[in-house]
Amino acid sequence: MKPSDNFDDFVKLVSILRKECPWDRKQTHHSIKDNLIEEAYEAVEAIDNDDYDELSKELGDLLLHVVFHSKMASEKNHFTIHDVIRKISEKLIRRHPHVFGDTSVKDEVEVASNWESIKLTEGKESILDGVPKNLPGLIRAHRMQEKAANVGFDWAEWQLAWEKLNEEIDEWREAVHHQSDDEKKDEFGDLLFSLVNVGRLLNIDAEDAMRKANKKFDDRFRYIERKLGERGSSIVEANLEEMDELWNEAKRLPSL
């Protein structure tokens, strides 16, 4: 079989792998579910790096998972890849009446509000039902706040959310000094949630900001390790003063 840009050829390729490859034959929905999450994050990393060649590869990996899960489901007569495509097509048409129907909207805010209203007519008990419980905490907080905002439950301006953040900081400080470990954890969670809210209202994605902060720490810490190695030392041999000196040196570098 030769590489092809035809979707049906790709579906056939995956079917052959499922039949002929011992590893592919052994997989189940559950055995590769974490791989699906990993591939999604790799696609996000490519986007963050503006690496479009890598993004095209990572989107291919995601497509593989969509087709592979569909193939496994079809073997048990649950659904096929054609069902997947039809259902998402139906959803997109149904939730875009301003494009495929006669509904009028003035901006993206009304589009988002209509979207949530339509979801409730589809059997959802809450507009929050569409936010997966196993999302990373910062992403889930942002998405829940966003969905609530779509129906008008939001701060009028970021300064009001900032006041709430200061209130949560005071409650967290009080908890640290006078409350139990569980209460400290609760207050810390409230503080993080409020911080995400302020960021959202300032058009800052908390998860994206956290990824950038993590990368910055990773780059600077590796700089410390590299410089210590050049001195004939190592991270386990250095004292805090040496490490702090190199950390500040890294901070002064434009690339770090």
* 148-163 pLDDT, tens digit each: 998 889 999 999 999 9
pLDDT for 105: 87
133, 113 Cβ separation under 8 angstroms? no
Contacts of 54 (CB under 8 A, 6+ apart): 46
What's the pLDDT score for residue 127?
85
Q: Which residue, among 39, 90, 88, 91, has the nearest Cα to 60 in the 3D structure?
A: 39
d(CA 137, CA 210): 11
Decide if 65 contacts 35 (C-beta within 8 A).
yes
Reply yes or no on whether the pLDDT at 253 is more than 90. Answer: yes
- Taking only the tens place, the pLDDT of each residue in 120-132 is 888 888 889 888 8
The pLDDT score that the predictor gives to residue 167 is: 95
Distance CA 130, CA 132 (A): 6
pLDDT at 181: 92
Confidence of residue 221 (pLDDT cuts 50, 70, 90): very high
Q: Are 164 and 196 in contact (CB under 8 A)?
A: no
Report the C-alpha gap between 142 and 198 in whole angstroms.
Answer: 10
**pLDDT tens digits, 25-59:** 999 999 999 999 999 999 999 999 999 999 999 99
**Residue with more model confidence, 246 or 119:** 246
Question: Confidence class of residue 4 from pLDDT cuts 50, 70 and 90?
Answer: very high
pLDDT at 62 over 90: yes
pLDDT digits (tens, 9 = 90+) for 167-201: 999 999 999 999 999 999 999 999 999 999 999 99
3-state secondary structure of 239: coil
Alpha helices in the chain (DSSP H): 7-20, 22-26, 33-48, 52-75, 81-94, 97-100, 108-121, 137-150, 158-178, 181-201, 206-230, 240-251
Would you state the structure tokens that stand for residue 5, as one six-digit string?
């840009």
What value does the mean pLDDT of the chain take? 93
Closest CA to 197 of 127, 249, 147: 147
> What's the pLDDT at 252?
94
Task: Tokens 């494009």: give the residue.
Answer: 99
**Which pLDDT tens digit goes with each residue over 78-121?**
999 999 999 999 999 999 999 999 889 888 888 988 888 888 88
